[in-house]
Amino acid sequence: MGEGIRTFDCEGRSTREINMFLQEAAGRGMELEVVLANPDSRHNLAVGLTSPLAIRIEGHVGYYCAGLCEGVNVQVQGGAGWGLGENLMQGRVQITGSAGSAAGATMRGGTIIVGGDAGARCGVAMKGGTLVVGGDVGYMTGFMMQKGVMIVGGNAGEALGDSLYEGKIYIRGTIDALGSDAVQADLTESDITLLSEALTDAGMDMVPADFKKIVSGRKLYNFDKKEKEIWKTAL
């Protein structure tokens, strides 16, 4: 049935050529696995794919890898630059290394897994899906998050979950500072189940009970602009 593995060497090819190859392969369905060799930290690889396709990238990728995709399964053997899996609708993006700023920004569905650390504004304006980071996350992670689940195995920088509307952030390590209206809540049985499944899926050997849960305090839902204290703490 399957067409097996097709390898594409990125060296000497334009990013457009690489992405056109992927578009053409995606049109033929999941039975095909595509391998990209020599990605050389190039930007904009595997973007805008809206048909299912399994892609393995052998090396580091640059900015916006697997952005604007729906239904892909992208595995990166290395690190990524800014905007990993931006606006992912469905599917799975997994990298073994660290990601730059704004990993999973505005994602609406699917799963993004970062093996190492993620930079500033990780999961900014998330609208769904699951974002798992094995290591630390940077400043303003989860800023204005609206829905979805974020799991952080390491520590967080300042302003974690600033002005989040909804969604859940689970974090195992320390938090430099919570953002405006981000509050800690108790872990429930369903949180433990969710964490257990997500961590197993991500291949991360961590204990769910070690995590803290951060949610919206919902004070900014009815923001009174005359409240001076809120102005003082607003970023």
Partner 1 sequence: MCGIAGVLYKQITNEPAPIGRSLLTMAACLQHRGMDSAGMAVFGAADVGLRLQVMLPHPGPLPEPQEVLELGGGRLSDLCPEKSGFSAAVRPASGNSVQADLELIQALETGLPGATVSGMGTRLTVEKAVGMVEGLEVSVGSLMGTHGIAHLRLATESKIDPAHAQPFWGRPYPDLAVTHNGHITNYHKLRLRFEAEGFGFASHNDSEIIGIYLGRKIASGLSLHEALSAAGKELDGSYSCIVATTNSLGVVRDPFATKPLLYVETETQVALGSEPQALYHLLGQNAVIKEIRPREVRVWERA
63 binds partner 1 (CB under 8 A): yes
Contacting partner 1 (CB under 8 A), which of 67, 91, 138, 148?
138
Site for partner 1 in 43-62 (CB under 8 A): 43, 59-60, 62
The CB-of-210 to partner 1 minimum distance in angstroms stands at 25
180 touching partner 1, by CB under 8 A: no
Stretch that binds partner 1, among 1-9, 18-26, 35-43, 183-191 (CB under 8 A): 35-43
Q: Compute the distance between CA of residue 159 and CA of residue 202 in angstroms, rounded to an integer.
A: 26
* Residues in region 71-130 near partner 1 by CB under 8 A: 78-79, 81-82, 98, 100-101, 119-120
From the CB of 156, what's the least distance to partner 1, in Å? 12
The minimum distance between CB 139 and partner 1, in angstroms, equals 5
Give the C-alpha distances (Å, rounded to integers) separating 120 from 98, 104, 208, 215, 231. Answer: 12, 11, 24, 19, 23
Helix (H, G, I), strand (E, B) or coil at 192: helix
142, amino acid identity: G
Q: Could you give the CA distance from residue 47 to residue 188 in angstroms, rounded to a whole number?
A: 37
Rounded to 5 degrees, φ, ψ at 139 are -55, 140
Do the Cβ atoms of 140 and 179 come closer than 8 Å? Answer: yes
Q: How far apart are the first and last CA of the chain?
A: 55
Closer CB to partner 1, 207 or 234, in the complex:
234
Size of the site for partner 1 (CB under 8 A): 21
- Considering beta carbons, is residue 94 or 98 the nearer one to partner 1? 98
Look at residues 64, 62, 55, 53 and name the one whose alpha carbon lies nearest to residue 37: 55
Binding residues for partner 1, rule: CB under 8 A, are 40-43, 59-60, 62-63, 78-79, 81-82, 98, 100-101, 119-120, 138-139, 157-158
